[in-house]
């Protein structure tokens, strides 16, 4: 029974990681950039959600909507001003810029809202706790898992069935050829950043509902772990991010339950290192030979 509890907790954390990992993987697939600021976009989402819930007294569904729109715009703005000018320059420059953007977001939030943690209200307080065969499951756990699956299904449909989704796949496959086919690459990249950021802020809300405290650095750890999830699944591969997130969440939860909660971070990075050493292209990836 305890195993099932850990497993469900892992699935809950994994859903959150998977949603964040999708942003990493989509952005990497399309512009070959590790968006270090992604975790911090998520953090900004948490702050937006807090103020939408408390200051403006919006209901939860409206908060989700407002937060997703806000972070989508933020993602597009970041891409437009920080990453776009560097699209043709060395990869290392873009990576360092991403680290810069990440630090910028953290420190801006810290200056505006102070570095102290703020409590997050619990709008699901009255929600029932289900009991299935002696196993207690909160609405939040079920809701998180279900919501994540619904979002992932919508995303998969979007990527496979719509014109924009097709454009995104085309640009990630071969940007040059996509341009020749008349695809507007700038719009496509902007949409990718918007979707990725919106998913991250949705994950942020799920995250702060589970751990009701927000502070400027809260994005870095989930961000890094989600990145590990993306690498685990094969970076650039959308189903890979989903599976990677789930696997990582479960591994972490089991470590916390059976070994020690202090070492769970070390286990996550250990997984990353093992994956990178034995199958750098990830679980779902194919090896691409480098040609001269």
Partner 1 sequence: MKLSKIQRSYLYNALAVVAVFVVLYVLQLTGLIGRYYQGILLTLLINIVLTVSLNLATGFLGQLTLGHAGFVSVGAYTAALISLRSGLPEAVAFPIALVSGGVVAAVFGIMIGIPALRLRGDYLAIITLGFGEIIRVVILNLKFTGGASGLNGIPIMTNFPYAYSIAVLTITVMFLLIRSRHGRAIISIREDEIAAESSGINTTYYKLLAFTIAAFFAGVAGGLQAHMLFVIDANKFGFIYSVDIMVMVVLGGMGSITGSILAASILTILPELLRDLAQYRMLIYSILLIVLMLYRPSGLLGRHELSQKILGQWAGRLGGKKRTPSSPDTPEA
Residue numbers at the binding site for partner 1 (CB under 8 A): 33-34, 82, 85-86, 89-97, 99-104, 106-108, 111, 220, 224, 227-228, 231, 260, 262-263, 265-266, 269-270, 272-273, 276-277, 280, 290, 292
Nearer residue to partner 1 within complex by CB, 96 or 135: 96
Closest distance of CB 107 from partner 1, Å: 4
Nearer residue to partner 1 within complex by CB, 154 or 273: 273
Closest distance of CB 220 from partner 1, Å: 7
Closest distance of CB 118 from partner 1, Å: 18
Closest distance of CB 192 from partner 1, Å: 17
Burial status of residue 2 (CB atoms within 10 A of its CB: 0-12, 13-18, 19 or more): exposed
Q: Please name the residue that has the structure tokens 């680290």.
A: 99
Q: Are strands 213-214 and 118-119 parallel, antiparallel or unpaired?
A: antiparallel
Closest distance of CB 246 from partner 1, Å: 20
Nearer residue to partner 1 within complex by CB, 95 or 164: 95
Nearer residue to partner 1 within complex by CB, 4 or 266: 266
Nearer residue to partner 1 within complex by CB, 198 or 231: 231
């Amino acid at each position: 029974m305890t195993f099932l509890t850990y497993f469900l907790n892992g699935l809950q954390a994994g859903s959150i990681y998977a949603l964040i990992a999708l942003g990493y993987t989509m952005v990497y697939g399309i512009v070959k950039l590790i968006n270090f600021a992604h975790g911090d976009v998520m953090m900004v989402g948490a702050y937006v959600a807090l103020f939408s819930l408390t200051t403006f007294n919006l209901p939860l569904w409206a908060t989700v909507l407002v937060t997703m729109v806000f972070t989508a715009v933020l993602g597009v703005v970041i891409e437009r001003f920080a990453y776009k000018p560097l699209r043709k320059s060395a990869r290392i420059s873009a990576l360092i810029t991403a680290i810069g953007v990440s630090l910028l977001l953290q420190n801006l939030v810290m200056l505006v809202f102070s570095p102290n943690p703020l409590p997050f209200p619990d709008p699901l307080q009255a929600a029932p706790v289900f009991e299935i065969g002696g196993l207690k499951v909160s609405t939040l756990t079920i809701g998180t898992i279900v919501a994540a699956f619904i979002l992932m299904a919508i995303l998969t449909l979007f990527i496979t069935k719509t014109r924009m989704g097709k454009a995104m796949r085309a640009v990630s496959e071969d940007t040059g050829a996509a341009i020749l086919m008349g695809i507007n690459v700038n719009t496509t990249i902007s949409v990718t950043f918007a979707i990725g950021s919106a998913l991250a802020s949705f994950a942020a809300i799920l995250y702060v509902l589970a751990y009701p405290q927000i502070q400027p650095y809260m994005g870095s750890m989930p961000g890094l772990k989600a990145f590990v999830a993306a690498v685990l699944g094969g970076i650039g591969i959308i189903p890979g991010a989903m599976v990677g997130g789930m696997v990582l969440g479960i591994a972490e939860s089991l470590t916390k339950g059976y070994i020690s909660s202090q070492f769970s971070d070390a286990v996550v990075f250990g997984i990353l290192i093992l994956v990178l050493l034995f199958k750098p292209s990830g679980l779902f990836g194919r090896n691409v030979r480098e040609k001269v």
